Amino acid sequence: MTGGSSPAVAVHGQQSSSSRSSSNISNISSSTSSSRSIVWFRRDLRVEDNPALAAGVRSGDVVAVFIWAPEEEGPFYPGRVSRWWLSQSLHHLDSSLRSLGTPLITKRSFDTASTLIDIVHSTGASNLFFNHLYDPLSLVRDHRLKESLSAQGVTVRSFNADLLYEPWEVNDENQCPFTTFAPFWNKCLSMPYDPAAPLLPPKRISSGDVSKCPSDTLVFEDELEKASNALLARAWSPGWRNADKALMAFVNGPLIEYSVNRKKADSATTSLLSPHLHFGEVSVRKVFHLVRMKQLVWSNEGNKAGEESVNLFLKSIGLREYSRYLSFNHPCSHERPLLTHLRFFPWVVDENYFKSWRQGRTGYPLVDAGMRELWATGWLHDRIRVVVSSFFVKVLQLPWRWGMKYFWDTLLDADLESDALGWQYISGTLPDGRDFDRIDNPQFEGYKFDPNGEYVRRWLPELARLPTEWIHHPWNAPESVLQAAGIELGSNYPLPIVEISAAKTRLQEALAEMWQLEAASRAVMENGTEEGLGDSSDVPPIDFPQETDMEIDRERELPRINNTAVRRHADQMVPSMTTISSLIRVEEEVSVGAGNVAEDSRPEVPSNINFEADTHREVAQALPQFNPDILRNALHSTAESASTWTERDGGLVPVWSPPPTSSRSEHYPDDDDPGIGNSGYLQRHSQSHQMLNWRQLSPSMRRSWEMESTVQPNAIG
């Protein structure tokens, strides 16, 4: 790869006109008129407004490819429902592509890069086109891929298909990335140029020669999962045409009422577009332009509510944009609090709490109803997501990454960037997140979002006969009322596992402890003692910032790559975090209790609901293995009951192991067993996906990390 064409070009202070051309295809017309291109589909499963596909069609013959290499996702192996969606969507895409002239070639792989190279060779292609992704893994993988394929003489181009604006296009007046949402979104809405107009689907695709490049049959579900998945098809229709229908239905229907309806937990007044958007079945730019046109119309009609509805809906699109923006600028945001002092928060490490939450047996009806709905359907209204996750973090004080992982495994629209943003927001680990010491009371939220208790009754049949007056706080109901409703608290419906008032006290204590640890760590930092402090030395010391300072990611300290070069086409920009942060993960939390999950993860799904009880297998596969012994060893409080374990998360050693073949694994994840399912990936990427404890690092490594993570750029904020 020659110096001049580095694909990773930092563009800062560099402008709109060139950025703009990057997101449409006008700059590609100079490509030779009949070369053969691989169009690599990922989470852009559509033929409409797909810049990579359009580029391929323009430059000649097209080989359309999808590669299934889930092991590369490490702990974020897609959950069952998410895999179901993907399989449906791929079928849909394949038939669309076929009708245009070429099939979708599907490949099973354990190494995307080498599979792509094989495909290039077997098809004689000279170009590779794909659309950008912004999760940490893809940023690094795609960057490397670009380098290695370019070195082999393949022309690699990548495009923006997922965002209104690329992350590097949206900066504040000092050309620095925003650190809060509101100004970010205002800027997006007032950019000097509009998001690119959507491209039409190609009329016809000239197929490359795929005779030497047969498809693999991809398996996304096993027999047991099939039964559960069959029910999903009743409620959802994956695929880009269906996505388009859903969009139209929403825009011409519920959108206008969005601002008034959004409060109700129950109503189907949301767009239901998120899974479609996650897989790129519909283009956000199309959504944006369409919705904006509606707004113009309503605005002219003086329909204030309609106008406001569009603003609110667009804001949720904006949050999705922001999640990518955040992930791009802070590639660790899916696993580390962005507000550094929160790393010292003493999370409650209690698997029983976690289990009660998963099963919808916390004793708070709104929370429990939400968790049962999530399990049964893979779906939750955004409001309820906030309720259950806020309960998780603030009342149970479990580490948010556990909750995020569970969402990842169970949500139909599981999306790493969006979910990381959501959990960080709820956890108060963002500069503009909720106040950390704010505890929402599920009882009051219940009457707010579900005033008549219908939602609760639907998902908690055991409470169905309880009058509305008590539906959100059965623990206060008179015995006679409970009896009449057939409820025996503590037996067929639990008492609250944690009282709100107790949670408040505990939260205050935990916060005090957090500040103490933080201060101690700072002191250690200052006098250079390394080992004095036990656990708190596990967390990178920080130069204590103002409340709103974000974590300083490594890329800010490292020299920018090639600041001066002009970015060509739409080269994928890669934050320069690849070296250190992917080598080392300072882990705050242990992995979720998969052994536990595997054994007994199934909440009792209400029997009047038409969803079959699920099997635990997919959860077991999706979750990283966590051996409780490791946890116990790491904690000193063995004598106490599980529910009183609290320990700074940094003191625990998180280790991910390959998915088990059996549902139960006694196997210590950090020994050298290469394991089964994940072995390919873990072996090849041992540095980037081995989870290391801070203590395990060599002192010199540690020092360099500490130095880097404490440098304060003044540019932020």
Which residues participate in the annotated binding site for FAD? 258, 270-274, 313, 413-415
User: At its nearest, how many Å lie between DNA and the CB of residue 438?
Assistant: 5
- Site membership for DNA, residue 181 (CB under 7 A): yes
β-bridge mates for residue 68, sequence order: 108
Tell which phi-psi region holds residue 124, choosing left (phi > 0), alpha (psi between -120 and 50) or beta: left
Q: Is 345 or 626 the residue whose CB approaches DNA more closely?
A: 345
Q: Is 143 or 334 the residue whose CB approaches DNA more closely?
A: 334
**Nearest in space to 163 (alpha carbons), one of 31, 17, 319, 275:** 319
Q: Give, as one character, the DSSP assignment of residue 661.
A: S
Count of residues engaged in binding DNA, rule: CB under 7 A? 20
β-bridge mates for residue 108, sequence order: 68
For residue 47, CA distances in Å to 93, 206, 244, 470, 710 come to 8, 14, 11, 51, 46
Cα 618 to the chain's mean position, in Å? 19
CB 450 within 8 A of CB 405: no
**Nearest in space to 244 (alpha carbons), one of 92, 24, 99:** 92
β-bridge mates for residue 107, sequence order: 67
β-bridge mates for residue 104, sequence order: 64
Phi, psi of 40 (to 5 degrees): -95, 110
Coil/strand/helix, residue 104: strand
- Site membership for DNA, residue 194 (CB under 7 A): no
- Site membership for DNA, residue 433 (CB under 7 A): yes
| C-alpha span between 37 and 208 (Å, rounded) | 8
User: At its nearest, how many Å lie between DNA and the CB of residue 573?
Assistant: 23
Q: Is 343 or 394 the residue whose CB approaches DNA more closely?
A: 394
- Which of these ranges, 96-104, 347-355, 433-441, 520-528, lies near DNA under the rule CB under 7 A? 433-441
Q: Is 383 or 567 the residue whose CB approaches DNA more closely?
A: 383
User: At its nearest, how many Å lie between DNA and the CB of residue 258?
Assistant: 12
User: At its nearest, how many Å lie between DNA and the CB of residue 316?
Assistant: 7
Q: Is 319 or 498 the residue whose CB approaches DNA more closely?
A: 319
- Site membership for DNA, residue 543 (CB under 7 A): no
Find the binder of DNA among 421, 598, 652, 682 (CB under 7 A): 421
- Which of these ranges, 15-23, 28-36, 434-442, 513-521, lies near DNA under the rule CB under 7 A? 434-442
Find the binder of DNA among 161, 213, 291, 430 (CB under 7 A): 430
Find the binder of DNA among 1, 182, 235, 297 (CB under 7 A): 182
Residue with token string 């700072």: 522
CB 626 within 8 A of CB 592: yes
- Which of these ranges, 356-364, 417-425, 565-573, 630-638, lies near DNA under the rule CB under 7 A? 417-425
User: At its nearest, how many Å lie between DNA and the CB of residue 386?
Assistant: 6
Q: Is 121 or 438 the residue whose CB approaches DNA more closely?
A: 438
User: At its nearest, how many Å lie between DNA and the CB of residue 370?
Assistant: 15
Tokens for 276? 């479609």
- Which of these ranges, 22-30, 274-282, 428-436, 479-487, lies near DNA under the rule CB under 7 A? 428-436
β-bridge mates for residue 653, sequence order: none
- Which of these ranges, 163-171, 221-229, 404-412, 429-437, lies near DNA under the rule CB under 7 A? 429-437
Q: Is 382 or 557 the residue whose CB approaches DNA more closely?
A: 382
- Site membership for DNA, residue 438 (CB under 7 A): yes
- Site membership for DNA, residue 432 (CB under 7 A): yes
Find the binder of DNA among 39, 205, 332, 439 (CB under 7 A): 439
- Which of these ranges, 142-150, 176-184, 547-555, 703-711, lies near DNA under the rule CB under 7 A? 176-184
- Site membership for DNA, residue 261 (CB under 7 A): no
Q: Is 432 or 673 the residue whose CB approaches DNA more closely?
A: 432
| C-alpha span between 165 and 190 (Å, rounded) | 12
User: At its nearest, how many Å lie between DNA and the CB of residue 688?
Assistant: 28
User: At its nearest, how many Å lie between DNA and the CB of residue 122?
Assistant: 44
CB 34 within 8 A of CB 9: no
In terms of DSSP bridges, do strands 155-159 and 60-68 run parallel, antiparallel, or are they unpaired? unpaired
Positions in 305-334 near DNA (CB under 7 A): 315-316, 319
Phi, psi of 42 (to 5 degrees): -135, -100
Helix (H) or strand (E) run with residue 256 in it? none
| C-alpha span between 345 and 472 (Å, rounded) | 30
Q: Is 10 or 426 the residue whose CB approaches DNA more closely?
A: 426
- Which of these ranges, 13-21, 435-443, 589-597, 678-686, lies near DNA under the rule CB under 7 A? 435-443
CB 544 within 8 A of CB 341: yes
Q: Is 319 or 380 the residue whose CB approaches DNA more closely?
A: 319
Tokens for 42? 């990922």
| C-alpha span between 133 and 16 (Å, rounded) | 21
Q: Is 439 or 498 the residue whose CB approaches DNA more closely?
A: 439
User: At its nearest, how many Å lie between DNA and the CB of residue 95?
Assistant: 35
Tokens for 221? 């579900």
Find the binder of DNA among 180, 215, 303, 562 (CB under 7 A): 180
Tokens for 129? 């086109």
Side by side, the strands of the sheet bearing 127-131 are: 104-108, 60-68, 35-41, 127-131, 155-159
* N-terminal to C-terminal alpha carbon distance within the chain: 37
Q: Is 67 or 319 the residue whose CB approaches DNA more closely?
A: 319
Tokens for 464? 């169905």
User: At its nearest, how many Å lie between DNA and the CB of residue 394?
Assistant: 11
User: At its nearest, how many Å lie between DNA and the CB of residue 263?
Assistant: 7
Q: Is 113 or 326 the residue whose CB approaches DNA more closely?
A: 326
- Which of these ranges, 132-140, 405-413, 423-431, 682-690, lies near DNA under the rule CB under 7 A? 423-431
Show contacts of 698-707: CB within 8 Å, 24+ apart. 699/530, 701/584, 702/530, 704/580, 705/540, 705/580, 705/584, 705/586, 706/525, 706/540, 706/541
What mask, x for binding DNA by CB under 7 A, covers residues 368 to 387?
--------------x---x-
User: At its nearest, how many Å lie between DNA and the CB of residue 407?
Assistant: 12
Find the binder of DNA among 70, 275, 346, 422 (CB under 7 A): 422
Vertex 202: Cα angle to 201 and 208 (nearest 5): 135
Name the residues that contact DNA, by CB under 7 A.
180-182, 263, 315-316, 319, 382, 386, 421-422, 425-426, 430, 432-433, 435, 437-439
